Amino acid sequence: MKIAVCEGDGIGHEVIPPAKEVLKHFLPDADYFDVFVGYDKWKETGESSSDSDIALFKSSDAILFGAITTPPVPEYKSVILRIRQELDLYANLRPVKGSIFGQDFDIMIVRENTEGLYSGIEEIGEERSTTLRVITKHGSERIAKMACTLSIERGHKMPLVIGNKANVLKSDVLFRDSCIKTAGLMGVKTKPMFIDALTFDVLMHPLSYDVIVTTNLFGDILSDACGYLTGGLGMLPSANIGEKNAFFEPVHGSAPDIAGQGIANPSAAIRSAAMMLDYFGMKKEAGIVEDAVIKVISSGVKTPDLGGKNSTKEAGEKILEYIKKI
């Protein structure tokens, strides 16, 4: 098993090492190798990722990724977008878990990750600029299949919600209808909702949601809105899955303001490692890691963002200790 590890910039250097320790505990024999991309690389070499970095990522079975600082130049092209596109990582999975009025919610946002407004088909002009929003049947069906598989795995708790804006965008009629068709074939009930009303309702009633599938930019906004439900983005992991490769990263950024102080919360990175274990079919192990993160925090080991005084290192070590005891 080949696992690429990329710390990236800023607090990436702090939160990835404990997440890697967790992986090593469960996968001691995997082949771990580092890939260096991001802002620091850009400062050194003038490019934030090279073709050979992408080749390295492609050669891996899974990628553990920290976060990247955006260089302050207008022509900068996002490394993350490059990786998503060149590795065709079409499914962006963003679980949002938390509790409200003493009840637990557990929402899985399944974001299409390669098309929609991220097509890159643009015309720039001084008077008028355009971006083409592209929805394909193929792209919609494969993301729907992923969402339905998750819905089935999770026990069909609620219908699959299809976030769309088909009342305005004809391109979303194709998305919605492809999702409904795929779900029908897989025996999954669906509930199409307009993205504006959905964003409002998921904030009001998070307990009423299970799996939500949506297009690229709607998923981007919806997942940040749901981040509010967990009190912040600091705890949220994500996975970007393709046919051949998979990429796991915390939702938070490189946080230059606290980088280097050793106080970043490693939970999101460690949970991203748990998503990798799940991806490798190690569901029990993924569950242990998830459990460890929650238990260690509720035992009082908290980094400053959670109101505590523990360091990244202390939090990471406690979580690893808890895991080793099971």
Ligand X SMILES: CC(C)[C@H](C(=O)O)[C@@H](O)C(=O)O
Contact set with its own copies (CB under 8 A): 70, 74, 78, 81, 117-118, 122, 124-138, 165, 167-171, 173-174, 195-197, 199-200, 203-204, 217-218, 220-221, 223-225, 227-228, 232-233
**What are 214's strand-pairing partners?**
111, 163
Q: CB nearer to its own copies: give 218 or 322.
A: 218
- CA 134, CA 122: separation in Å to the nearest integer? 11
Q: Which is nearer to ligand X, 80 or 160 (CB)?
A: 80
Number of residues that bind ligand X (CB under 6 A): 7
Q: Give the position of tokens 């004809």.
A: 170
| Least distance to its own copies, CB of residue 289, Å | 25
104 is a contact residue toward ligand X (CB under 6 A): no
The 124-163 contact track toward ligand X, x by CB under 6 A, reads ----------------------------------------
* Partner touching 127 among its own copies, ligand X, none, CB below 5 to 8 Å by kind: its own copies
For the CB of residue 52, give the shortest distance to ligand X in the complex, in Å. 22
116 φ/ψ angles, rounded to the nearest 5 degrees? 60, -135
Using rule CB under 6 A, residue 121 touches ligand X: no
CB of 93 to ligand X, least distance (A): 12
Per DSSP, the three-state class of 159 is: coil
Give the angle subtended at the CA of 200 by the CAs of 197 and 203, to the nearest 5°: 145
Residues 191 to 210: which contact ligand X by CB under 6 A? 196
- Dihedral Cα 285, 3, 54, 10, nearest 10 deg: 70
**Shortest Å distance, C-beta 313 to its own copies:** 28
Is residue 233 packed enough to be buried (19+ CB in 10 Å), middle (13-18) or exposed (0-12)? middle
Stretch that binds ligand X, among 45-53, 76-84, 173-181, 183-191 (CB under 6 A): 76-84
d(CA 150, CA 67): 26
* Closest CB to its own copies among residues 253, 262: 253
Nearer to its own copies, 29 or 127 (CB): 127
Q: Which residues does the annotation mark as catalytic?
A: 118, 165, 196, 220, 224
With CB under 5 to 8 Å by kind, the binding choice for 100 among ligand X, its own copies, none is none
What, of ligand X, its own copies, none, does residue 80 touch, CB below 5 to 8 Å by kind? ligand X
Contacts of 174-180 spanning 24+ positions with Cβ under 8 A: 174/135, 174/136, 174/137, 174/140, 175/112, 175/135, 175/140, 175/215, 178/137, 178/140, 178/141, 178/144, 179/140, 179/143, 179/144, 179/147, 179/213
Q: Does 168 bind ligand X (CB under 6 A)?
A: yes
Give min distance, CB of 81 to ligand X, in A.
5
Going by C-alpha positions, the residue among 32, 41, 94 that lies closest to residue 254 is: 41
Under a CB-based contact definition with an 8 Å cutoff, are residues 14 and 267 in contact?
no
Residues 6+ apart with CB under 8 A from 164: 172, 175, 176, 192, 193, 194, 195, 214, 215, 218
| Beta carbons of 248 and 62 less than 8 angstroms apart | yes
User: Considering the complex, what minimum distance in angstroms separates the CB of residue 214 from its own copies?
Assistant: 11
Q: Which residues bind ligand X (CB under 6 A)?
A: 78, 80-81, 167-168, 196, 220
